């Protein structure tokens, strides 16, 4: 046994793993091994921080998460102790999949911390999904009943790998309103947009190849790249999206095959690439033989005016593969997405699809097609956007009222997200997170969306997920958590180490 008050810990200040995660890992290991026995009192957070010459916030957050996991208990006026329960939860690291082993330490640790957002009673702004109340359950039930009565068992058998023929035609009609001109034979139905992105990456890149994207970028595409053992290179952004000067410089030196981009209401920043930059991007792609994977899943989430045409609508050289679906806008659980590609890539994509799952469930495809045919989705989208605009406005009002002075964000003209940069005079988004969860509010931590480090002071708020009253209350709690932690932060900056 060791004396907990003289706990010996070695901190790697230059490592990828955040300091507070190192503390969690080391203290947890000592408790699991019995080196720290039940009832042992740990050093006060200030005392341990001074001894290790680290920020007290790191110790506070480590203790808080270990309490949430059941390893520690706190008693007002007495201190922090090793919990006396006989059973401890399995450490998060034991729950990793094989794919997790390829994640950088910092990214993995942030994801582990995000698990705290699952506890009951939290106003959770962290997910990337639409709210459940947007789902047209009654219309979907009617469509499924009509299909089963009309088609019987045919609706439950395998469909063609490329997709249900009438749905492919309906998708052709659907995207024509965005300016995309294609034939049903260019449409490939997938199991959601995520599968569509995965299929393109599998089809074009080999293990060790490089995927170009923005930084920050969509978290799901980083997951796919790691699973497929593909390298990721992030290109910096400005207020108009990916910077084309840095893109061309990289293309000259490296000649990558594929770039992933969301030009309209980018996740997580909400950025919209203007039409002149879209045309310039397409010219670069044609000049350097670069295929562009365009994620159009947020194309319809426009609150004011009309968004620029998708890249695919402007594509005269066949350099764009367009991916979208009906998951973000209405029906996440139905898992119906689609790809639009020219014949150069289409046959390879169809082979990848066949090897992945043979075909997308026919009943789901037929239900979506009937909802499109009846005009249900168009009407529901219009109603949903009206509500989203109200929630966006409430989020902006609450952010202005409750978030700390010096915080920055852009007014999103569409999409689901408010991308916030916290003042650098206080805690980072990761440091703030545990305190925020203790006040029953959660958000997506900015680090997760970056390819090569960055985003420490950024956080993403999905304002679509909560009703107006919860948006107000959630941001009030978030502002309070920042102010309380910033007071500790400021005090530590002014207090010399002993």
Report DSSP letters for 5-62, one per residue: GG------TTSSS-HHHHHHHHHHHHHHHTSS-TTPBPPPHHHHHHHHTS-HHHHHHH
Task: Tell me, yes or no, whether 196 and 115 share the same domain.
Answer: no
Which span out of 186-190, 298-302, 379-383, 435-439 was modeled with the highest average pLDDT? 186-190
Looking at 38-52, 144-158, 308-322, 353-367, which range is the least confident one?
38-52
Task: Tell me, yes or no, whether 280 and 237 share the same domain.
Answer: yes
- Cα 18 to the center of its chain, rounded Å: 20
Is 415 within the bounds of a domain? yes
| pLDDT at residue 305, rounded to an integer | 84
| pLDDT at residue 488, rounded to an integer | 54
| pLDDT at residue 100, rounded to an integer | 37
Mean pLDDT value of segment 55-68: 78
Contact 195, 349 (CB under 8 A): no
What digits encode the pLDDT tens for the residues 386-412?
999 999 999 999 999 999 999 999 999
Write the CATH number for 48: 1.10.10.10
Contact 82, 39 (CB under 8 A): yes
- Out of 374, 396, 431, a domain closes at 374
Mean pLDDT value of segment 40-53: 86
Residue with tokens 């043979």: 358
- Out of 306, 340, 374, a domain closes at 374
Mean confidence (pLDDT) of the chain: 86
Task: Tell me, yes or no, whether 204 and 91 share the same domain.
Answer: no
Task: Tell me, yes or no, whether 76 and 25 share the same domain.
Answer: yes
Query: Among residues of the chain, what percentage have pLDDT more than 70?
Result: 89
- Out of 374, 396, 421, a domain closes at 374
Asked if residue 426 has pLDDT above 90, the reply is no
Task: Tell me, yes or no, whether 190 and 110 share the same domain.
Answer: no
Asked if residue 269 has pLDDT above 80, the reply is yes
- Whole-angstrom distance, CA of residue 278 vs CA of residue 284: 10
Is 130 within the bounds of a domain? no
Is 281 within the bounds of a domain? yes
Task: Tell me, yes or no, whether 291 and 206 share the same domain.
Answer: yes
Burial class (CB within 10 angstroms; exposed 0-12, middle 13-18, buried 19+) of 160: middle
| Region for residue 349 given its phi and psi (left: phi exceeds 0; alpha: psi -120 to 50; beta: otherwise) | alpha
User: Residue 80 — very low, low, confident or very high, per pLDDT cuts 50/70/90?
Assistant: confident
- Whole-angstrom distance, CA of residue 3 vs CA of residue 226: 42
User: Residue 494 — very low, low, confident or very high, per pLDDT cuts 50/70/90?
Assistant: very low
Total domains, the chain? 3
Task: Tell me, yes or no, whether 267 and 181 share the same domain.
Answer: yes
Mean pLDDT value of segment 282-292: 97
- Whole-angstrom distance, CA of residue 13 vs CA of residue 32: 24
Is 441 within the bounds of a domain? yes
Task: Tell me, yes or no, whether 391 and 485 share the same domain.
Answer: yes
Looking at 168-177, 354-363, 466-475, which range is the least confident one?
354-363
Task: Tell me, yes or no, whether 164 and 249 share the same domain.
Answer: yes
User: Residue 220 — very low, low, confident or very high, per pLDDT cuts 50/70/90?
Assistant: very high
User: Residue 288 — very low, low, confident or very high, per pLDDT cuts 50/70/90?
Assistant: very high
Tell me the residue range of the domain where 139 lies.
Answer: 135-374
């Amino acid at each position: 046994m060791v004396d907990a008050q003289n706990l010996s810990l070695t901190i790697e200040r230059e490592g990828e793993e955040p300091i507070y995660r190192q503390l969690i890992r080391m203290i947890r290991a000592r408790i699991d091994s019995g080196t720290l026995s039940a009832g042992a009192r740990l050093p006060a957070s200030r005392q341990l921080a001074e001894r290790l010459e680290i920020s007290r916030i790191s110790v506070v957050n480590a203790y808080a998460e270990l309490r949430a996991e059941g390893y520690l208990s706190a008693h007002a006026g007495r201190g922090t102790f090793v919990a006396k329960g006989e059973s401890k939860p399995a450490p998060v690291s034991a729950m990793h999949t094989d794919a997790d082993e390829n994640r950088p330490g910092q990214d993995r640790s942030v994801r582990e911390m995000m698990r705290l957002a699952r506890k009951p009673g939290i106003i959770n702004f962290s997910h990337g999904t639409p709210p459940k109340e947007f789902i047209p359950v009654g219309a979907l039930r009617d469509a499924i009943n009509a299909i089963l009565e009309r088609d019987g068992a045919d609706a439950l058998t395998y469909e063609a790998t490329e997709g249900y023929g009438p749905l492919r035609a309906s998708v052709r009609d659907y995207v024509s309103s965005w300016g995309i001109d294609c034939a049903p034979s260019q449409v490939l139905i997938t199991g959601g947009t995520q599968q569509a992105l995965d299929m393109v990456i599998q089809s074009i890149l080999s293990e060790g190849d490089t995927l170009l994207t923005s930084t920050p970028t969509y978290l799901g595409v980083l997951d796919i790249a790691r699973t497929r053992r593909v390298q990721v290179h992030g290109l910096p952004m400005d207020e108009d999206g990916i910077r084309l000067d840095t893109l061309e410089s990289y293309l000259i030196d490296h000649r990558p095959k594929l770039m992933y981009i969301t030009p309209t209401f980018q996740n997580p920043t909400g950025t919209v690439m203007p039409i002149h930059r879209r045309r310039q991007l397409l010219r670069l792609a044609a000049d350097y033989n670069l295929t562009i994977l365009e994620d159009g899943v947020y194309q319809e989430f426009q609150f004011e005016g009309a968004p620029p045409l998708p890249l695919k609508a402007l594509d005269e050289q066949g350099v764009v593969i367009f991916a979208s679906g009906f998951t973000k806008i209405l029906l996440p659980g139905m898992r119906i997405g689609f790809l639009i590609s020219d014949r150069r890539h289409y046959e390879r994509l169809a082979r990848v699809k066949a090897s992945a799952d043979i075909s997308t469930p026919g009943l789901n495809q037929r239900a979506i097609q009937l909802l499109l045919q009846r005009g249900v989705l168009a009407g529901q989208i219009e109603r949903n956007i009206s509500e989203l605009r109200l929630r966006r406005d409430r989020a902006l009002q609450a952010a202005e009222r409750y978030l700390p002075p010096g915080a920055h964000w852009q007014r999103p003209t569409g999409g689901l997200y408010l991308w916030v940069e916290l003042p650098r005079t206080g805690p980072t988004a990761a440091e703030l997170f545990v305190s925020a969860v203790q006040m029953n509010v959660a958000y997506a931590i900015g680090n997760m969306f970056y390819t090569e480090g960055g985003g420490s002071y950024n956080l993403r708020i999905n304002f679509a997920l909560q009703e107006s009253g919860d948006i107000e209350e959630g941001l009030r709690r978030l502002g309070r958590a920042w102010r309380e932690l910033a007071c500790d932060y400021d005090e530590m900056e002014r207090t010399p180490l002993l």
